[in-house]
Amino acid sequence: MDNITVGYLGFVVLIVLIFLGVRIFIAAGLVGFLGLLYMKNWKVAAGVAGMAPHSEVSNFTLSVLPMFILIGFFAHHGGMVKGAYRFAKAWLGWLPGGLAIGTVFATASFGAVSGASSATAAVFSHIAIPEMLKSKYQPAISAAVVAAGGTLASLIPPSAILVIYGIIVEESVGDLLLAGFIPGIITALIYILLLVGMFKVKPELGPSVTGISWGERFASIGGVLPIVVVISVIMGGMYTGWATPTEVGALGAFIVFVLALLRGRLNFSNLSQSLIETVKLSAMIFSVIWGIVTFVRFLGFAGLPSAAAEWVSSLPISPFATLLVILLMYLFLGMFMNAIGMLLLTLPVIHPVIISLGFDPIWFGIILVKMVEIGLVTPPIGLNCYVVSGVRPDIPIEKIFRAVLPFVLADIAAVALFVMFPEIVTFLPDLVKGR
């Protein structure tokens, strides 16, 4: 067999192993190693498997991931999540669907300090759903709001998915995090407009919150200030250029840690839990990267990425038609695969194609993350929906999937908006470069 055929065969074998339940880092590392052994020899295969993962994970840029993950755990145990929710409820609860809108605002705020979509969905399943049910909201819409709101953490910086995208395609992590801010805010606003319309048309979904005094509203501001401080540090540091993403991540984690101590919310038990969970999640992500790096080197030796780019570029269709096919592919894959695995498996082939078509890789990264967000709430996998259902088994998963459909349509509309007006995505990175 020629190398291209071996590359395609390796890709098929990897997908089969994943669907059989083999852990992705084991499957990717094994297929990559055996593929190199077949095409080259033991020395090349062992050298790549031994050196490539080390060279990749020793990259300073990758150290941003544990910092952002740690911010989320400190914020959760420090009580900042509940503070953000109380603020949102006090100031937005009077609107049609006010509690649901407050939940979207609070999930966006928590996403801005956690960067983890499933963690956001899990946390607010405990905090927001009981509040909405107590206010006579329908269970399905309550769960759907939390599942969809959790996806905002994938886009609003700090975003672990954007960091991983930047590392895989070797683009600026700082530019990607800046680029995700405005689209993340716009997506949250689209969700809010959607909810206002839904609750106006069907008021039986849930009532507005009444009886909150101005004193209670102003008192709630203190609960959201820590999050405002952390967002300002992260965005300000990257925008002005005085700190790298890793440095602002470390500073953000330190600020959240100090604020949690001052609020008396951080004891030895939840401090150790935060550190242990951060190490576990970081080790999982690093393990996937180790295996995928070996697989990517195998694809490179097989010549698959360049062959795919040449083939797609030669198709008698417009670049935007090709982009649409790629996005539909990600929409399909998102129904069956987790986000990190999907990006690591496909980007070595897709990124050269995007470059050959003349698209901005920073812009494409944001569009791709939006597609990942849609995959987080679409069946049969829909990870966020299953996370919510796991916390609230009294709400059937099929009802959650039905209730989340309007949010999927809203996300598709957001993707169309960002495709038609790419300046929305590239505005902040271009502004920083033009300083």
Q: Which of 242, 244, 104, 245 is nearest to 162 (CA)?
A: 245
- With pLDDT > 70 as the criterion, what percentage of the chain qualifies? 94
Q: What is the rounded CA–CA span in Å between residue 143 and residue 125?
A: 7
Q: What is the rounded CA–CA span in Å between residue 109 and residue 101?
A: 12
Q: What is the pLDDT of residues 373-421, one digit of tens each?
A: 888 888 777 778 888 988 888 999 889 999 999 999 999 999 999 999 9
99-104: average pLDDT: 88
Is residue 130 over pLDDT 80?
yes
Is residue 21 over pLDDT 90?
no
- At residue 420, the pLDDT reads 93
252-263: average pLDDT: 84
Whether 106 and 81 have beta carbons less than 8 Å apart is answered as yes
The larger pLDDT score, comparing residue 363 to residue 65, is at 363
- Going by pLDDT thresholds of 50, 70 and 90, the confidence category of residue 338 is low
**pTM, to two decimals:** 0.81
Mean pLDDT of the chain: 83
Whether 165 and 347 have beta carbons less than 8 Å apart is answered as yes
- At residue 384, the pLDDT reads 86
The larger pLDDT score, comparing residue 241 to residue 156, is at 156
- At residue 4, the pLDDT reads 81
Q: Which two three-digit tokens encode residue 309?
A: 């780019």
Q: What is the pLDDT of residues 282-305, one digit of tens each?
A: 787 777 777 877 887 887 788 877
- At residue 56, the pLDDT reads 65
Mean pLDDT lowest among 15-19, 136-140, 322-326: 15-19
- At residue 418, the pLDDT reads 95
Q: What is the rounded CA–CA span in Å between residue 44 and residue 50?
A: 10
- At residue 61, the pLDDT reads 66
- At residue 422, the pLDDT reads 94
- With pLDDT > 90 as the criterion, what percentage of the chain qualifies? 17
Is residue 313 over pLDDT 80?
no
